[in-house]
Chains A and B, each alone.
Chain A
Amino acid sequence: MRVLIIEDDVDTASYISKGLTEEGHSVDHFADGRDGLLQATAEDYDVIIVDRMLPGVDGLNLVRTLRGVGKQIPVLFLTSLGGVDDRVNGLEAGGDDYVTKPFAFSELLARLHALARRPPLKGEETVLRVADLEMDLVRRTVRRAGQTIDLQPREFRLLEFLMRNQGRIVTRTMLLERVWDFHFDPKTSVVETHISRLRAKIDRPFAKDLIHTTRGAGYSIHNGG
């Protein structure tokens, strides 16, 4: 994917830039808010990473302006402001996601992948599929190899989120936020517990596992190895 980084902290910028380049993505970097904004409107990117505090134009205004001129490029905010209000303000300004410094690169990467998901699901797709696993979003049913699988509402949401991001890693934090609406770090194995319950229903009775764990990064659902 093509990523634009607007970040005045050189260390952070090169940390992200290096990581993304190694992953095979193309990266442009601007340190000044005004330059970054011009670049964002001039060229097409898959995702933009914006620091909240920037010289020139600050992050919030940058994204507001971007949205104001009709640019719908996904935006991920980056900030050292850890406050709860900061997340809400960022999202209200038109940001799509939010990562607080310091962060693990795997977390940022997973979120970028989730944001840059292109092209969007064709039309109003109502059935999600991974191998022989099928999720009907209208009837709220899940079947694997023709067998109906009974899921709790929250398990359904968990599986839906994994399936919508199939082939991509989703992190523990992303799951906590999107599935459980938890905006804090639980001290118990909430995610692990529920993933393992889900696995017991989705994978265990069948020959091939679809839900995979990537150590230190997160989970993904796919038909591969």
Chain B
Amino acid sequence: MVADVFSRTAVRLALGFAVLIAATVIAVFAIIYWQLSSELEQRVRLRVLENLDALSAIDSHEGFSELAEVVSAEANSPRAIENIFLLVDKDGQFIAGNVEGIPEFQGWRALKVTDYKRLIGPKEDRDRYFAFWRRLSKGMLLVGGNDRDMRHVSDTLLGGLIWGLAATALLSIAIGGTLAYRAQNQIDAISTTLAAVAEGKLDRRVPPLKGNADLNQIGSQINATLDQLQRSIERSNQISTDIAHDLKRPLGRLQQRLDTAMRSAGTEAQLQAAIEASLGEIGVIVETFDALLRIAEIEAGARRLRFTMVDLQQVLIDVAEVYQAVADDAGDTLISQLAVTEGAMVFGDRELLVQLFANLIENAIRHCPKGTRIVLALHEERTSVVAEVRDTGPGIPLEERDKVFHRLYRLDKSRSTPGSGLGLSLVAAIAELHNARIQLDDDSPGLRVSLRFQCGSGLTKL
């Protein structure tokens, strides 16, 4: 459980931040300490030099013996706690002072209690003395100033540092813990939801989570994905049911036909007719399967590997040429309005694009009454080519426009015409494969199907 806690991102983050903050605090304290102590050391040295100057002045103005008097007095005064004094003659023999036993040295030196012998004052002393020897007329004078102020400062700083660090650590752990706890709750909520979904409860969703915006975003993303998943599962369930339904009807008819043929010992011609009709029913079934498989293949997207640059205008010209006569025979009119001058190159599969437009035109011919005017149009926009198939037929009610792309969906009024209900699904699948946006609009009257293709090789990025 402990290892578990430490493997959590939030906890690790919190600890990481705690270490970082501690390091920062220590660094800041170190800088302050360094600056303060050098400043204080400077002051101590100044004090020592002032003392030396004052005492040297006595030596030069009033004589060495007067100096010895003064040093002796200083050594006995209360100020001697903060300073050490040592006056020696030319041979280094003690004359006056509160310490002894310090050999001559050049420049500054920090003296510890072991470096000298205290004559007056406390024998135990934790202070260090910044000391300096100065040569005088008849001897040498050492003055040292202690670093007690510096020690106080560093003690204070150290105390502050410890408390600061403790507070930082506590705060970090508290915040980290809270964050980890909250994140854990949210992650638990997400994983519980996903586990439930995996068990088949497709309607479960991640509850909205307070606090962590990132996790909340992931939560809503998961919910959106689950919505999509649920929809597509429901759709595929629906499709299975629809396929079963759609196939049951022709299979039922087939069974009846064969049964009748078997039981009524008819003439050879009658039997022949029954068999032919049965083969027709089988043809319908096979066709439905073929269409389903083709849609599945297109949706799998492998055909993109065979994409080439295709002139959409030429595709429409070819399709129009084929269907002009078909429309004429059906009592309709097919008109091309191709407003593209230099051809409209799109990246795609010619065979499928032909099928797409053939499908749309056939839909118009088959589902519209005689005398319908069908327009096949193409025009360019800034970065896209828009192909349209318009008709003056009954159109598709607004609320059904989305559904017509679903597999096996058929408008009630088209139930009477033969068809699998897969034509527009195929159209949608082909459009999607080509990254083309498909839209159904009311052409008042009639239906307008428009397909917006990206110009040129814009699709190569797929």
Residue among B279, B294, B323 making CB contact with A84, cutoff 8 Å: B294
CB neighbors of B among A114-158 (8 A): 152, 154
Contact of A186 with B362 in the complex, beta carbons under 8 Å: yes
Among residues 181 to 210 in chain A, which have CB atoms less than 8 Å away from a CB atom of chain B?
A: 181-190, 193-194, 196-197
Bound complex: CA A100 to CA B291 (Å) = 13
Given the known interface contacts A82-B293, A188-B362, A216-B276, the answer about A181 and B325 at a Cβ–Cβ threshold of 8 Å is no
Q: Across the interface, which residues of B come within 8 angstroms of A188, CB to CB?
A: 323, 326, 330, 362, 365-366
Judge whether B290 and A84 touch: CB under 8 Å: no
Least Cβ–Cβ distance between B310 and chain A, in angstroms: 13
Interface of B: prevailing SS: helix
Residue of A184, A185, A190 touching B323 (CB-CB under 8 A): A190
CB of B346 within 8 Å of the partner chain? no
Interface hit among B351-359, B403-411, B435-443: B351-359
Tally of contact residues, B, Cβ under 8 A? 32
Given A189-B326, A189-B329, A193-B329, the answer on whether A82 and B290 have CB atoms closer than 8 Å is: yes
B286 at interface by CB-CB < 8 Å: yes
| Residue pair A194, B325 in contact (C-beta under 8 Å) | yes
Hey, what's the 0/1 contact readout for B340-384 against A, CB within 8 Å counting as 1?
A: 000000000001101100100010011000000000000000000
Q: Are the CB atoms of A197 and B355 closer together than 8 Å? A: no
> A85 on the interface (CB 8 Å rule)?
yes
Complex alpha-carbon distance, A88 and B289, angstroms? 20
Tell me how many residues of A have a C-beta within 8 Å of chain B. 26
| Minimal Cβ-Cβ distance residue in B for A103 | B286
Q: How many angstroms between the C-alpha atoms of A180 and B325 in the bound complex?
A: 14
Structural contact, A84 and B351, CB atoms closer than 8 A? yes
Among residues of A, the one whose C-beta sits closest to the C-beta of B363 is A187
Residue numbers in B under 8 Å from A88 (CB-CB): 306
Main SS at interface, chain A = loop
Partner of A187, one of B289, B303, B351, B362: B362
Contact status A190-B322, CB under 8 Å: yes
Q: A190-B326, A193-B325, A194-B325 are in contact. Are A183 and B366 (CB under 8 A)?
A: no
The complex places the Cα of A112 from the Cα of B294 at a distance, in Å, of 26
A196 to B298 alpha-carbon distance, docked (Å): 34
Q: Given A83-B297, A84-B294, 5 other A-B contacts at CB below 8 A? A: A84-B351, A104-B279, A152-B321, A181-B351, A197-B325
9 closest A-B pairs (Cβ-Cβ)? A193-B326, A193-B325, A187-B362, A184-B355, A82-B293, A83-B297, A188-B362, A188-B326, A193-B329
29 contacts between A and B (CB under 8 A): A82-B294, A84-B297, A84-B303, A84-B351, A84-B352, A85-B297, A85-B302, A85-B303, A85-B306, A88-B306, A102-B282, A102-B286, A104-B279, A152-B321, A154-B321, A181-B354, A182-B322, A183-B355, A184-B355, A184-B358, A185-B287, A186-B358, A187-B362, A187-B418, A188-B365, A188-B366, A194-B322, A196-B329, A216-B276
Mark B residues whose CB is within 8 Å of A.
276, 279, 282, 286-287, 289-290, 293-294, 297-298, 302-303, 306, 321-323, 325-326, 329-330, 351-352, 354-355, 358, 362, 365-366, 418-419, 423
